[in-house]
Structures are given as C-alpha cells and as structure tokens.
C-alpha cells in the first residue's frame, strides 16, 4: 500500500488581490487551517499568478529557505544582497534568508502574465548568513524523469538547501512514467504544477498534491496522463 493522502486543488486557501491571484497549499497570510500548517520542514507552497508589471514590493524575511519556480513568464528579483536577476521557466532560484534579507519580486513583463510557485522550507537551524543561488534545468533533463533541483550540499548540480530536504522536478507526457524509491522513515510531498498524472494509480490534476508520511520503504510511480509538470519533495 502506498498510504497516499490526497489534497485537492480546490481545498487550498485562495486570495484574490486583483494584481495577484494566489492559492495556498498551507496556511499563509489570511488563510489559516490548523490541519494544514505545513508538512515536515515544507512550510509554504503558494501558486501565484501576477498581472503584467505588478509584484511584491520590498519586504523582509528571516530564517527561511525560499525557492521560486517559474511555470510561465518572467520573475524579476532584487534583494539586499545586491542580487538582481530575471528568472524564466526552467530556472530554480533559492534564497536563504538566514539572519535577514530584504527583497522584491515583480512580473518583469508589461504585457504577459507571470505564473510561479513560491516555496518555503524551514532551515535546519537559525542564523545562517543570507545567500542567493539560481540554476537552470533544461526540459530535456526533466522529461520523463525526476531531476534533482534542490538538496543539502547541492548534489548533482542542484541548488543548495540548509535542510534535510530534496526537491525533484519532472515533466511527463502521456505514457511517460518515473518511479521514486522512498526510503523507510522518509516523507514525501508531491505537487502537480500543471497537467494530469496518476500517482500509484490515483489521478491528480494541476494544483492537487499527494503525501506519504513516515511509512515503510515504498515506490511512488508517476504516470503522465496529460502533459504535466510535477514537483516531489523528499523530507526527513
């Protein structure tokens, strides 16, 4: 048995601010659900759609690993570390807020929408020096397989996380599949960013998620149904 727990897209929190349309997998801002405060060290998955030329003005963070994962459009980032960049689909951006950092995030286009995931992971300790990193992972690297994109120590060319957490990204066309061997005692959260897949036979669509918590060693099989993009978190 896979012991999957399913969380459907329409069960998430939702905030509509005009310029920002945001769905919250876990409690965030005005959305509070004691049953969904996070999953292990995974604290936030916000699916954000930002209107052209709009964005989040300068604001501060502390002691959080923040990953931005663009699905469509271009995200412009500026921070108090002196970093300024624009990331696109395929780019994974990691900012360790550590002892404190201020940043802004904007849709860099004046004409096209921005669709991205903002992911927060609680670090393994407080007080890291703030840092920033971004890397590109081509579609070919992710097609029909799970590509490691974030991990402790930055294994296999991934961005580095200050936590016992690994993030994989995969693209699946109909008929393509990948299997992930989840070790005993580990925990998994799988988020379907777009499209449709089955996970161990359960059908999930964009915005849906499946989790496995502290089970015995098992295989998680992802099968493409409609062209899909999937994130898998392996957590302690």
Q: How many domains does the chain have?
A: 1
Specify the higher pLDDT residue, 119 or 215. Answer: 119
Residues 6+ apart with CB under 8 A from 5: 210, 211, 212, 213
Residue 99's nearest CA partner among 157, 153, 44, 162 is: 162
pLDDT at 214: 77
CATH code, domain carrying 159: 2.60.120.10
Check pLDDT > 60 for residue 89: yes
Average pLDDT value for the chain: 95
Considering only 62-71, 82-91, 120-129, 159-168, which range has the smallest mean pLDDT? 82-91
Check pLDDT > 90 for residue 137: yes
Mean pLDDT value of segment 94-100: 93
Domain of residue 87 covers 5-235
pLDDT at 2: 56
pLDDT at 1: 44
Q: How confident is the model at residue 3 (pLDDT cuts 50, 70, 90)?
A: confident
Mean pLDDT value of segment 195-200: 97
pLDDT at 84: 85
Check pLDDT > 60 for residue 174: yes
């Amino acid at each position: 048995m896979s012991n999957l727990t399913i969380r459907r897209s329409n069960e998430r929190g939702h905030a509509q601010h005009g310029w920002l349309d945001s769905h919250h997998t876990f409690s965030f801002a005005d959305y509070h659900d004691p049953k969904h405060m996070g999953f292990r060290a995974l604290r936030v998955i916000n699916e954000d759609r930002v209107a052209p030329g709009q964005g989040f003005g300068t604001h501060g963070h502390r002691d959080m690993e923040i990953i931005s994962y663009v699905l469509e459009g271009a995200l412009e980032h500026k921070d108090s570390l002196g970093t300024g960049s624009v990331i696109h689909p395929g780019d994974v951006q990691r900012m360790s807020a550590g002892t404190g950092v201020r940043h802004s995030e904007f849709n860099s286009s004046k004409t096209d929408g921005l669709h991205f995931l903002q992911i927060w992971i609680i670090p393994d300790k407080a007080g890291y020096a703030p840092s920033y990193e971004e890397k590109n992972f081509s579609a070919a690297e992710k097609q029909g397989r799970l590509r490691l994109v974030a991990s402790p120590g930055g294994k296999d060319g991934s961005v580095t996380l200050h936590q016992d957490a690994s993030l994989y990204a995969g693209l699946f066309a109909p008929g393509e599949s990948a299997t992930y061997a989840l070790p005993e005692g580990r925990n998994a959260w799988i988020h379907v960013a777009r499209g449709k897949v089955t996970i161990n036979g359960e059908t999930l669509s964009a915005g849906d998620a499946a989790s496995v918590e502290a089970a015995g060693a098992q295989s998680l099989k992802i099968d493409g149904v409609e062209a899909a993009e999937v994130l898998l978190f392996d957590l302690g």
